[in-house]
Structure 1
């Protein structure tokens, strides 16, 4: 259903992974989707993912997609991007998805080593085109949305804001993304602009499959390694896109603004399924936690109730055992 027909969206960092899935999800819902990335078309350098490939995928899903080559470390390029959207769409921007992130390679290189064994530039590699870029894009998006007194800003964060996953710089950056979304919500609420932080689950992106191979070499007795081996409860990138499309279709999202929203839980609320027809559960659901600890139960997930661990319990548990 083309519920977002007539809406204009921008997805930053959409050449591959979650960004590409979000663009497809918004496109299949009828939105006009602007996408950004550094790589426009395939080259001999064998770079994984390009804007033109994402554009074609959105078109194949029945959507309209406008690729714009942007390096989000350059503020002027970002300013010109929003100037273009304002001109071409007569000032309309309904949805911004802050997704761009350039620290994947650095995270992979630093994997398994403490932060102090790496150059301090690791912080910038992870949080410049990431946390800072989300702030810059939100500034320009809010200026457009303010004129029409409506809009939705989604900042893609992760469970790394709550528990240790990929190192200190990554965790602090994701916690800051959550706080950014929360504090922006306070200042945007008078203008009827919603700001949320979104936590996907374990998403089967190209890079996540590579990370799973690394985890397989770790202690096989660790529950998380079992989860990585058999891809239990993994989500596709499109799942996040479909959930954001459903969120953008709601008449009033102010009751959600400023809060962390878990993709799987929003999917349950809006009756959204993944591209293979299933619906992954939240990572704080007993249906995920128990089978992850007792792998034999993964064949019978329906026997375990889909009950969510309360936030305060989850936070206490993560503090006691920070590695997941």
Structure 2
């Protein structure tokens, strides 16, 4: 079990969903975890949830609108003052355009009035880069730290039009470059790829079956085929906790990491006791392509070789 009792963490956008789940897991392993969001009352419910669980660590809510650089800067200033300059982990999770994302699924970039790139990427790629720079400023003097960029479904394939793919592709590219810049200072920079995370919104999306949009229905069907590799909102937090406690985490810097691979490496399960199947699993891939009969004969442990998977999704 990771011991994070001496670690100071920051998870941005932790009011709900994956951010909330990550913060709860970090606190359960003993970390002091700052969380940000636009509504303090919502953040305080996450703090109370950690207390109700009797977590060995603690959660500290900080109200912040990450669309405002000054707001973001003050978060890191607060951590620096209260923790004597210590910050061991930044999880770039904040994303303010989720509702816009769903409401404008089929809006093309050339349609009049389209502003998706600005809306999605400002508190996505841009703010993640700014937060990473501020975090690095605290980590470099201590020669130790971990920065994690989180990429959702649709990071390298056509999904939800241009703006979503642009956000994730740029964020992953920036992470690769930042990893090189920070390596000499012993600060690791990775990007984490969860599979389908069963947030409340995702669960409702998968269960719905009366949408007139054929493209949405096709994606919904693919998501259903991948439920065997779906994750709880806290699975990612377990991955990050184990990485942060790993003395050899610098070996992972600059890499695209799958949550399921980390679970296998560190030998842990999801909070419900299940082990989500890897996206590299041939069982999952054959399901996605509609070969259900074939899929039933393939063992869960049989995977597509890593180099083939990287050529398909990571290059």
* TM-score over 0.5 for the pair: yes
Q: Normalising by the residue count of structure 1, what TM-score does the alignment of the two structures yield?
A: 0.88
Tell me the matched-pair count.
Answer: 310
Task: Provide the secondary structure at the position in 2 that maps to 1:242.
Answer: helix
Note if 1:90 corresponds to 2:84. yes
Cα separation, 2, equivalents of 1:127 and 1:254: 28
Tell me the residue number matched to 1:53: 45
* CA spacing shift, 1:221–1:76, aligned 2, 3 Å: closer
2:70 aligns to what SS in structure 1?
Answer: helix
CA 233–76 in structure 1, closer or farther in 2 if over 3 Å, else same: same
Corresponding residue number in structure 2 for 1:45: none
Q: Which runs of 5+ in 1 are unaligned?
A: 42-49, 320-324
For structure 2, the residue ranges without an aligned partner over 5 or more in a row are none
- Partner residue of 2:201? 207
Q: 1:134 and 1:317 mapped to 2: Cα distance?
A: 22
Aligned match of 1:310:
306
Deviations 1:229-285 (A, max 9, x none): 884421011000001001111001121111111111111111121111011022222
**Alpha-carbon distance between aligned partners in 1 of 2:134 and 2:230, rounded to the nearest angstrom:** 34
Match of 2:127 among 129, 133, 150: 133
**1:141/1:216 CA distance change after superposition, 3 Å:** farther
Map 1:19-168; keep pairs closer than 5 Å.
19-41=19-41, 50-61=42-53, 62=55, 63-117=57-111, 119-168=113-162
**Cα gap change, 1:251 to 1:296, in 2 (>3 Å):** same
Q: Give yes or no for the alignment of 1:258 onto 2:254.
A: yes
- Report the CA distance shift for 1:164/1:215 in structure 2 as closer, same or farther (over 3 A): farther
Report the secondary structure of 1:237's partner residue. Answer: coil
2:245 paired with 1:249: yes
- Of the candidates 270, 273, 277, which is equivalent to residue 274 of structure 1? 270
Secondary structure of 1:303's aligned partner: coil
> 2:61 & 2:221 partners in 1: Cα distance?
37
CA apart distance, 1:58 = 2.3
| Residue number in structure 2 paired with 1:4 | 4
1:185 aligns with 2:203: no
Q: Per the alignment, do residues 4 and 68 of structure 1 end up closer, same or farther by CA in structure 2, a change over 3 Å counting?
A: same
Q: CA RMSD in A?
A: 2.5
How big is the shift at 1:81?
Answer: 0.8
Secondary structure in structure 2 of the residue aligned to 1:160: coil
| TM-score (structure 2 length as normaliser) | 0.90
- The alpha carbon displacement at 1:313 in A equals 5.3
CA–CA distance in structure 1, aligned partners of residues 19 and 61 of structure 2 = 13
In structure 1, what is the Cα distance between the partners aligned to 2:210 and 2:287? Answer: 18
1:239 maps to 2:235? yes
SS in 2 for 1:115: coil
Provide, for residues 15-39 of structure 1, a one-character-per-residue CA deviation record: whole Å limited to 9, x for no partner. 0011011101111111100000001
